[in-house]
């Protein structure tokens, strides 16, 4: 073995059976990841492209790892090639990003033939997601929601809506306050519980009637919508 091979490593000399096993497991676990993603966001209409991408990502990552093997030179070449690509797709929430990384991790594990890591990791993460989903369902039964209210900075202040909030809400906590449009709009986000579970419409109408209120949004599931606008 030459000094160059010792320094940079050797490419994996794989047989067809090994390649097939790695890609097949990556495909199966990618399908599991996509199905788990669908289960974790039951109230959302999902894009077919997102779920399909989760499956393909695991296959692509597995294939890339097989190509690189232990060869550092190939790894740097691949990084240089991928640096040309510009990704401008905006994911909806950190929850979506987590599943993208999960799909990549599954593919990488299969690509280096760490099948036990891939299987056990997917099982543990799937169990964690299901437990978190069950806890989120319990929280939703308690009526916890997210309220966003945007006010014109020159016409209204938070004090203008406090009376309406006290009337319609059993409890609330301020999650975020920020300025938008170069200070022309003040945006407030609250985690709230309605006094009347069916009183969402009356709350929205009362807030909209307050002078200076530009926008009111009530999210039914504050933890999983991932809304940012």
pLDDT digits (tens, 9 = 90+) for 83-130: 655 566 667 678 888 999 999 999 999 998 999 999 999 999 999 999
In this prediction, residue 79 carries a pLDDT of 67
In this prediction, residue 96 carries a pLDDT of 86
Question: In the chain, where are the structural domains located?
Answer: 3-140, 142-219
In this prediction, residue 224 carries a pLDDT of 44
pLDDT digits (tens, 9 = 90+) for 197-215: 788 889 889 888 888 888 9
Angle of helix 16-40 versus helix 48-68 axis, rounded to 10: 150
**What CATH superfamily is the domain 142-219?**
ACT domain (3.30.70.260)
In this prediction, residue 118 carries a pLDDT of 95
In this prediction, residue 27 carries a pLDDT of 96
Would you give per-residue pLDDT tens digits along the chain (229 residues)? 455 454 445 555 778 898 999 999 999 999 999 999 998 887 677 778 888 999 999 999 999 888 887 767 666 666 665 665 556 666 767 888 899 999 999 999 999 899 999 999 999 999 999 998 887 776 665 677 889 999 887 766 677 788 888 888 888 888 888 888 877 888 989 988 888 878 888 988 988 888 888 899 888 654 444 444 4
In this prediction, residue 229 carries a pLDDT of 45
Phi/psi zone of residue 69: left (φ > 0), alpha (ψ -120 to 50 degrees), beta?
left
């Amino acid at each position: 073995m030459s000094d160059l091979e010792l320094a940079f490593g050797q490419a994996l000399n794989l047989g067809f059976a090994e390649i097939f096993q790695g890609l097949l497991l990556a495909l199966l676990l990618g399908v599991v990841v996509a199905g788990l993603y669908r289960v974790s966001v039951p109230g959302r209409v999902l894009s077919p492209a997102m779920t399909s991408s989760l499956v393909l990502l695991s296959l692509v990552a597995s294939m890339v790892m097989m190509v690189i093997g232990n060869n550092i030179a190939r790894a740097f070449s691949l990084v240089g090639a991928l640096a040309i690509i510009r990704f401008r797709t905006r994911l909806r929430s950190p929850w979506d990003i987590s599943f993208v990384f999960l799909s990549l991790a599954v593919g990488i594990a299969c690509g280096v033939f760490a099948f036990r890591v891939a299987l056990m990791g997917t099982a543990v993460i799937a169990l964690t997601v299901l437990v978190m989903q069950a806890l989120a369902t319990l929280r939703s039964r308690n009526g916890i929601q997210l309220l966003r209210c945007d006010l014109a900075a020159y016409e209204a202040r938070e004090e203008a809506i406090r009376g309406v909030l006290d009337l319609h809400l059993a409890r609330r906590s301020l999650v975020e306050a920020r300025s938008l449009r170069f200070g022309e709009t003040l945006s407030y986000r609250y985690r709230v519980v309605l006094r009347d579970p069916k009183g969402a419409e009356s709350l929205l109408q009362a807030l909209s009637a307050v002078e200076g209120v530009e926008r009111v949004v009530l999210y039914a599931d504050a933890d999983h919508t991932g809304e940012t606008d």
